[in-house]
Amino acid sequence: MPELPEVETVRRGLQPAMEGARIERTETRRAGLRFPFQADFAARLRGRTVSGLGRRAKYLMADLDSGDVLLMHLGMSGSFRVVTGDGAAMPGEFHHPRNEDRIHDHVVFHMSSGAMVVFNDPRRFGSMKVIARAALDQEPLLKGLGPEPLGNAFDAAMLASACAGKKTSLKAALLDQRVVAGLGNIYVCEALFRARLSPRRLAATLATKTGLPADRARRLVDAIQDVLNAAIAAGGSSLRDHRQTSGELGYFQHSFKVYDREGGTCPTPGCRGTVQRFTQNGRSTFWCPNCQK
């Protein structure tokens, strides 16, 4: 599933075509995706101007001038492409042709900018929903999400407090969207490596006995933010389904330190360890046991 950097990359790619433009009409080519479309889904979008395009965790949020918000999730295999007036996809600097079967083009937004924004989702695990902005705090899909890891409020004290007393592993805590929003398996593995922290370490050890953030909490926050910013700058990671709106692949996978590097030499200078993989909570964890403690 796309993680925060991939969703942020998609958001930035959609901005030129959607932000400030009017949705002239919306085609829904099936009854729904992961969930059925609302009966008035297309009607609530028709003629509305997208005043802003934001992101919350792994959700895209298009603010409409009606006071509604279009909430969108890519699911496992969802992707957007922006098509110009002549029917050609807008290429990027590192353009890669798309291979998706057009039979999976399930939603098409016809924008006043002259572009078509097409949502393609072979597995149909994505979702779209129109909700009133005033009701966002009560929206079940968003309620309970933790802080944004790139937000100003996210710091060592906040993370240590969220993990204090937890008896789960540090990796499990970071994957809990109630602790911090938007992180997934790839970037948790990478951040833990950069912070030199074991994925098996108890989450509670981010806080001291007095409840203050330990130094390892500060290192971890810095590592999380560094790896996310680097991944966003690289267009995200393309392992299976992720494409940018231009059709180009993200290339942060070429910068992985440990993820999917099982058997490789640890990249830490002076470390003689080997990157290992083990299954943790049903997911592959990659780490260097020699320098992650």
Catalytic residue among 3, 8, 190, 248: 3
Catalytic residue among 34, 196, 283, 289: 283
User: Looking at the domain 4-138, which fold is it?
Assistant: N-terminal domain of MutM-like DNA repair proteins (3.20.190)
What is the pLDDT at residue 234?
A: 83
Burial degree of 96 (CB within 10 A; 0-12, 13-18, 19+): middle
- Give the CATH architecture of domain 156-287: Orthogonal Bundle (1.10)
H-helix segments, the chain: 4-18, 41-45, 156-163, 170-175, 185-195, 215-233
Dump strand ranges (E) for 197-293.
276-280, 283-287
Phi, psi for 70 (deg, rounded to 5)? -90, 115
- Compute the distance between CA of residue 171 and CA of residue 161 in angstroms, rounded to an integer: 16
143 is catalytic: no
Query: Of 82 and 192, which is predicted with more confidence?
Result: 192
Domain boundaries, the chain: 4-138, 156-287
Q: How confident is the model at residue 105 (pLDDT cuts 50, 70, 90)?
A: very high
Which is catalytic among the residues 11, 48, 55, 58? 58
Query: Residue 100's pLDDT band (boundaries 50, 70, 90)?
Result: low
**pLDDT tens per residue, range 213-234:** 999 999 999 999 999 999 988 8
Full-model pTM: 0.87
| Whether residue 3 lies in the annotated active site | yes
Is residue 239 over pLDDT 70? Answer: no
250-255 long-range Cβ contacts below 8 angstroms, 24+ apart = 250/5, 250/6, 250/9, 251/94, 252/5, 255/230, 255/231
- What was the pLDDT predicted at 233? 86
Helix, strand, coil percentages for the chain (3-state, nearest 5): 30, 25, 50
